[in-house]
Structure 1
Amino acid sequence: MNINTVRLGLAAAAAMNIGGVLVFSRALSNSVINEFDPVVMSNFGLLMIMVWGLAYLGAATIKANITWLAGAFTLEKLVYVVVWVKWIASNSLSAVYDADLFAGIFYTIYGLNDFVFMLFFFFVFKSQWAKKD
């Protein structure tokens, strides 16, 4: 995978994690997000999502091989996708939308967003792993 594509993808992942959390949580003041998943989406959990965004941003500046870092990012996104699928299966999005539009949008898209970036990180991992041969 082209290094510029990797850097752009990492920057996009960082922007989604940091910007998405800040926008949809209204700078961590939207308590509806916390109420519907108080463990994963507590303000601490949202802050940690932004920290992962900073890690992606830092990785975008690395000029060397990031095989294992991309692998770790793949697993991190997989965890969030699994959590989201389980959440979607046992909760009502309409109840979230009734409580707050931004929280509804957040819960609608965060797992899909994480799935897309999980695939991206996996392809980065796979392409850089292949270069070792």
Structure 2
Amino acid sequence: MTVRNQFTTKGFILSGLMNIFGVLIFSRFFTNSVIPEYDSQAMSNFGLLMIVVWGFAFISVSKNFDKVPWLIGVFVIEKLVYASHWTNWMINNKVSEVFEKDKMAGIFYSIYGINDWVFFFFFLVVFLKLIQTNK
């Protein structure tokens, strides 16, 4: 495995761990009622569980990502959807209100979209390189 592939593998693992542990820690294992209160569409307990599932999906392809370029394209779309949703949420809501109710929920809303934008670009670069290589 090349150094570049090792770096990319670690990126997939990190993305997955961020999804899994970010949700579990900040939602206090799905018991934090403030997170779903402020975004019942994407951040219901079911939605949070699905974020954890996506995390496992990212980790599952970490060592074989080069064999599934179109799945990486799906990851790009998934991250774009969540990152765009967060950006829209930040424009139309006050995260300070969330902090007043619960610091963990406030931190969650402050950072989850930044994480999604970072990994959107990571997956996009990986996807574009894979598509270019497989021509």
TM-score range, shorter chain: over 0.9
Give the Å deviation of 1:83.
Answer: 0.6
Q: Is the 8 A contact 2:66 2:130 kept in 1?
A: no
SS in structure 1 of the partner of residue 67 of structure 2: coil
Report if the CA contact (8 A) 1:66-1:125 is conserved. no
The answer to whether the 8 A contact 2:65-2:72 is kept is: no
User: 2:36 maps to what in 1?
Assistant: 34
> What is the deviation of 1:63?
6.3
| TM-score normalised by L of structure 1 | 0.95
2: CA distance, partners of 1:64 / 1:89: 36
Q: Is the 8 A contact 1:25 1:103 kept in 2?
A: yes
Q: Which of these residues, 94, 102, 121, is aligned with residue 123 of structure 2?
A: 121
Question: Over residues 48-67 of structure 1, what are the superposed CA-to-partner deviations in whole Å (9 max), with x where a residue is unaligned?
Answer: 00000010011113264231
1:69 alignment counterpart: 71
For structure 2, which runs of at least 5 residues remain unmatched after alignment? none
Aligned residue-pair number: 133
CA deviation digits over 1:2-35, x for unaligned, max 9? 2111210000001000000001001111000010
Equivalence map 1:74-93=2 (5 Å): 74-93=76-95
Counterpart for residue 6 of structure 1: 8
- Two-structure CA RMSD over aligned residues (Å): 1.3
* Unaligned runs of at least 5 residues, structure 1: none
